[in-house]
């Protein structure tokens, strides 16, 4: 049942005076439940409870944490159609997307459960003592990783399940042994509360300490800022805009004790298409990328917002085909009126820059909060001369940049900010000449794709979902895949310790 209240551990609480409602973007109307913003006292109670829970939870066995994570997955599934209906009502996304994203979320939880069921993921190392070594003896040294402490996770607007309340940040932090406080995204607060109720039930059923999970609502930045600034919080997970992510990073850096912020932020995900690929299969590429650009109304962090190619006699026809196929796809609903307003503002800003031409745009009337997809183009020289053209447009928009030659193409790639992904579309006879393009892209991205689309992020150990700033705040770490757990632990070495005092995985 949706209450509009906050979970302070397993207790529902709503003592504040401020509330807000979510919006049904398809109907452009408010949903009925009012969500009460957490007060400073409730924030304090949740953080203190998390700190107390950490003393127990950090020592919970991997086997028992696995039971907890699997129980969360089961409880989410038990919410059944009610959860799907609330998701679609608050997000404007279709039921098929809701079911698929729920499945991914459940799979993520189960993947981390499998990971922590034994000690292998910790990468424990052992260096035996050498008391007779000359000129100096060597002590016994053993190294493992330990959880960092209570973590704040900010729900993401575009993935109400997979990057939000029980998403990858929460699942990986709990797997590591860190209590989690979720700051619900105000665009899907009801969806978030239902998922939070599933986590609380799972914690109670598996005997986890009260405070291992809390869930707070709030408008704007007040609640989130208070959580990031609280001295009991030891790390932050965030998925969203560059502006919000950087603000959180700055807050965390300015604390008396700075803490890590693992923020996945902006990306335009450049796609390099060779002239040979356009000549041989331009129509098929145009069809494929029209689908990728409009998938989920373009509201994926890996949306291909920048297409790079070298001008030749086939380029104009390819750009026309891509534009026509993109705008032929029906307009779709965006997540929220604010996101639609941002899409209009940013797409208008890019297309207003000198040298940028709109090739095609849906011109028929679209419903409130629906997006008119758009393809624009610009020369390589104009793109290089104006950084304003490089900005992310969150929605069904892509800019095609035509370079005069390969040298200019490389210069464009090297001028880009950090990105989540880079893609190369090429033919077999291009491969021998692609090394410079590959090298340039790998210096700017966290994942590089060959003859595919960037949309779609596989959850597996080999996935890296991060990249140089501003794609993320730390390019070493991923927010997708089992390696995401490494964000919430730190190494510790034990020197010459008696076995009885060592963690179980290091005992002699």
Tell me which residues are annotated as active site: 264, 301
Distance CA 287, CA 347 (A): 22
Rg of the Cα trace of the chain? 24
Describe the crossing of helices 222-229 and 242-254 by its angle, rounded to 10 degrees: 40
> Could you give the C-alpha distances from 266 to 174, 242, 435, 468, 473, in angstroms and in order?
26, 5, 26, 11, 11
Angle at 237 between CA 236 and CA 238, to 5 degrees: 120
Q: Which two tokens stand for residue 116?
A: 């922590």
> How do strand 235-239 and strand 151-154 relate by DSSP bridges?
parallel
- Name beta bridge partners: 235: 151
The closest of 249, 233, 157 to 473, measured between CA atoms, is: 249
Tracing tokens 């408010």 back to the chain, one arrives at 30
What is the 8-class DSSP label of residue 304? Answer: -
Distance CA 289, CA 225 (A): 39
The closest of 393, 381, 307 to 350, measured between CA atoms, is: 393
Distance CA 169, CA 199 (A): 14
* Buried/exposed code over 114-148 (b: 16+ C-beta within 10 A; e: otherwise): ebbbeeebbeeeeeeeeeeeeeeeeebebbbbebb
Distance CA 2, CA 471 (A): 34
> How do strand 397-403 and strand 370-371 relate by DSSP bridges?
unpaired
Q: How far apart are the first and last CA of the chain?
A: 50
Helix H or strand E encompassing 420: strand 419-425
The closest of 190, 110, 117 to 155, measured between CA atoms, is: 190
Helix (H, G, I), strand (E, B) or coil at 186: helix
* Buried/exposed code over 12-39 (b: 16+ C-beta within 10 A; e: otherwise): ebbebeeebebbbbbeeeebebebbbbb
């Amino acid at each position: 049942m949706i209450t509009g209240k906050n979970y302070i551990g397993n207790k529902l609480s709503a003592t504040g005076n401020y509330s807000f409602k979510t919006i049904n973007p398809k109907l452009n109307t408010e949903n009925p439940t009012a969500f009460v913003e957490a007060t400073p006292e409730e924030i304090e109670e949740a953080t203190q409870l998390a700190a107390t829970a950490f003393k127990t939870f950090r020592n919970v066995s991997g086997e028992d944490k696995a039971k907890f994570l699997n129980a969360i997955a089961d409880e989410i599934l038990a919410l059944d159609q009610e959860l799907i209906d609330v998701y679609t009502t608050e997000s404007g996304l279709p039921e098929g997307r809701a079911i698929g994203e729920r499945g991914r979320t459940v799979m993520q939880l189960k993947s981390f459960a499998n990971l922590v069921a034994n000690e292998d993921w910790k990468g424990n190392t052992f260096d035996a003592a050498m008391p007779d070594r000359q000129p100096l003896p060597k002590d016994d040294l053993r190294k493992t990783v330990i959880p960092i402490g209570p973590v704040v996770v900010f729900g993401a607007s575009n993935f109400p399940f997979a990057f939000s309340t029980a998403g990858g940040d929460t699942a990986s932090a709990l797997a590591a042994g860190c209590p989690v406080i979720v700051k619900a995204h105000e665009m899907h607060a009801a969806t978030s509360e239902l998922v939070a109720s599933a986590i609380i039930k799972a914690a109670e059923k598996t005997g986890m300490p009260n405070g291992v999970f809390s869930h707070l609502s709030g408008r704007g930045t007040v609640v989130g800022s208070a959580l990031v600034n609280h001295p009991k919080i030891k790390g932050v997970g965030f998925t969203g805009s560059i502006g919000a992510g950087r603000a959180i990073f700055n807050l965390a850096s300015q604390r008396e004790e700075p803490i890590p912020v693992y923020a996945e932020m902006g990306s335009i995900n450049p796609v390099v298409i060779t002239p040979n690929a356009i000549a041989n299969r331009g129509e098929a590429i145009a069809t494929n990328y029209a689908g990728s650009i409009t998938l989920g109304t373009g509201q994926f962090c890996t949306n291909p917002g920048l297409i790079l190619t070298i001008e030749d006699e086939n380029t104009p026809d390819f750009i026309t085909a891509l534009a026509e196929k993109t705008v032929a796809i029906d307009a779709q609903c965006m997540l929220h009126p604010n996101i639609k307003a941002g899409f209009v503002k940013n797409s208008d800003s890019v297309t207003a820059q000198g040298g940028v031409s709109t090739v095609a745009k849906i011109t028929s009337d679209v419903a409130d909060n629906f997006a008119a997809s758009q393809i624009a183009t610009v020369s390589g020289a104009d793109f290089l001369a104006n950084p304003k053209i490089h900005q992310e447009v969150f929605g069904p928009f892509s800019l095609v940049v035509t370079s005069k030659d390969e040298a200019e193409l490389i210069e464009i790639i090297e001028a880009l900010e950090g990105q989540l992904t880079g893609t190369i579309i090429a033919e077999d006879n291009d491969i021998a000449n692609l090394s410079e393009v590959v090298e340039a892209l790998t210096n700017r991205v966290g994942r590089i794709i060959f003859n595919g689309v960037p949309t779609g992020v596989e959850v597996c150990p080999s996935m890296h979902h991060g990249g140089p700033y501003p794609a993320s705040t730390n390019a070493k770490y991923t927010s997708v895949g089992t390696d995401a757990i490494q964000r919430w632990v730190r190494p510790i070495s034990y020197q010459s310790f008696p076995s009885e005092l060592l963690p179980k995985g290091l005992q002699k």
